DNA sequence: GGAATTTGACCACA
DNA sequence: TGTGGTCAAATTCC
């Protein structure tokens, strides 16, 4: 069984290698790229399941801890094979996302336009849906009339997720989600012990990005944040805008990086890696079908400006290897870039050996 | 000096 | 009218 699983892992690595070598050709073929990524994920998933079964068979008495063991299996294997490649992080993330039982997804509340969260908390009543109030607002978001007006109503869809806060260090820091946010307000909310923080996309002014989020710490669990996203990021549609994964995927990243997320992001969170890597998905997130750049892929430059994803001030300069990888993956196809998957595989080429066999 | 955060006040909505 | 969401001046940080 172990041998078989090892073979499956090796197959995964082989696919990674193949993807790497074919990347220049696939760069402008997102569908093929997606497919390759899916294959890689499937290979590792199969390996994981093999390990899972093996452990169940070998350690039935420890069934309560099967999942963590399974999860650490990949990690352990990765370590034992000296593989420190970031893609392994991604694959592990994906595997964990896939294994999350459906019931936990119910914790993720997706309220569509005008929708309400099913949550019955006192907080949720404040989150009402609605359309953007038509106002005379200039590009910079400043009301042009002399009388100061404030936009209300809503900017469309709300997506609420709950994310665990770090239990060590500064637990006041809202979980990193791959985007950069600027806090523009904080308010005590009736019935809540903790104030609600209001954030907008750092690039709101530069790119008129309407994305906002509210971060509310749960009363009954101070280590859990309820994060409500509003509006879609349009900043990554710019050729100079920072690159970022979509919120849902980003939430997954936070999830996996902290290892303490309590809930799964919406259905989109379980989308295959290929889906959120795909141009289509990025385009969709970036403003829907109206997004001119979506589809061609050329308009989406991941990390093109060098202003890679970082945390807000509180978590400044937090590197996101996933975004970096996406950056490399999508930019490596461009003619001038010398950065390739080698960046990701950097000096660890040797470490891609599995046991005594190099892939 | 620029950007981010804080915080009190303003405004829209239920 | 109360509450949530936003604005913007003041402050802090890098």
pLDDT for A198? 93
List chain A pLDDT tens, one digit each, 359 residues. Answer: 555 555 555 665 666 566 556 655 555 565 555 566 566 556 555 655 555 444 444 443 333 333 333 333 344 444 444 443 433 443 444 444 333 333 333 334 443 333 333 333 333 333 333 333 333 333 333 333 334 556 555 556 778 888 887 665 556 666 677 788 899 999 999 888 899 999 998 887 777 788 889 999 888 888 888 899 888 777 765 444 444 444 444 444 444 444 333 333 333 333 333 333 333 333 333 333 333 333 333 333 333 333 333 334 433 333 333 333 333 333 333 333 333 333 333 333 333 333 333 43
| C-beta of residue A212 within 8 angstroms of C-beta of residue A229 | yes
- The number of beta carbons lying within 10 Å of the beta carbon of residue A92 is 19
- The pLDDT score that the predictor gives to residue A157 is 72
Tokens 């996302």: give the residue. A97
Residue located via tokens 């936070």: A254
Among A170, A198, A197, A201, which Cα is nearest to A314's?
A170
Residue A133 (CA) to nucleotide C4 (C1'), in angstroms, measures 16
| Strand C nucleotides within 7 Å of a protein CB | 2-8
CA distance A46 to A29: 26
For position A13, what pLDDT does the model report?
61
Answer for A212: CB within 7 Å of strand C.
Answer: yes
Q: Is the CB of A132 under 7 A from strand C?
A: no
Look at residues A7, A100, A79, A20 and name the one whose alpha carbon lies nearest to residue A47: A7
pTM of the model: 0.44
Token pair for A223 = 């280590």
pLDDT at A207: 75
Residue among A155, A153, A161 at smallest CA distance from A110: A161
| pLDDT for the residue numbered A341 | 35
Q: What is the pLDDT of residue A112?
A: 38
Closest residue by Cα to the C1' atom of nucleotide C13?
Answer: A313
- Predicted confidence at residue A240, as pLDDT, reads 44
């Amino acid at each position: 069984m172990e041998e078989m699983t090892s073979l499956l892992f090796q197959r995964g690595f082989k696919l990674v290698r193949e993807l790497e070598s074919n990347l220049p050709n696939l760069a402008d073929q997102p569908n093929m790229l997606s497919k390759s990524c899916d294959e890689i994920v499937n290979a590792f998933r199969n390996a994981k399941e093999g390990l899972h079964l093996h452990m169940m068979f070998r350690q039935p008495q420890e069934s309560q801890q099967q999942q963590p063991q399974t999860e650490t299996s990949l990690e352990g294997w990765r370590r034992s094979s000296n593989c420190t490649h970031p893609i392994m992080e991604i694959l592990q993330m994906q595997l964990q996302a896939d294994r999350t039982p459906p019931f936990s997804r119910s914790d993720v509340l997706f309220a569509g336009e005008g929708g309400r969260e099913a949550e019955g908390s006192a907080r949720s009543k404040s989150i009402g849906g609605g359309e953007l109030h038509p106002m005379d607002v200039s590009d910079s978001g400043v009301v042009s009339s002399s009388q100061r007006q404030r936009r209300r109503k809503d900017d469309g869809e709300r997506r609420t997720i709950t994310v665990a806060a770090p239990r060590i260090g500064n637990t006041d820091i809202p979980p990193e989600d791959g985007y950069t946010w600027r806090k523009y307000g904080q308010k005590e909310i009736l019935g809540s012990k903790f104030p609600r923080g209001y954030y907008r996309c750092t690039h709101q002014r530069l790119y008129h990005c309407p994305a906002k989020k509210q971060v509310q710490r749960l009363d009954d669990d101070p280590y859990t944040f309820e994060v409500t996203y509003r509006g879609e990021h349009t900043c990554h549609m710019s050729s100079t805008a920072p690159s970022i994964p979509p919120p849902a995927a980003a939430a997954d990243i936070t999830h996996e990086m902290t290892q303490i997320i309590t809930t799964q992001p919406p259905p989109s969170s379980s989308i295959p890696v290929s889906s959120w890597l795909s141009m289509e998905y990025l385009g969709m997130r970036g403003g829907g079908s109206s997004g001119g750049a979506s589809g061609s892929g050329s308009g989406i430059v991941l990390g093109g400006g060098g202003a890679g994803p970082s945390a807000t001030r509180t978590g400044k300069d937090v590197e996101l290897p996933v975004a970096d990888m996406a950056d490399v993956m999508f930019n490596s196809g461009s003619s001038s870039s010398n950065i390739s998957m080698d960046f990701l595989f950097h000096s660890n080429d040797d470490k891609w050996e599995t046991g005594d066999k190099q892939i």
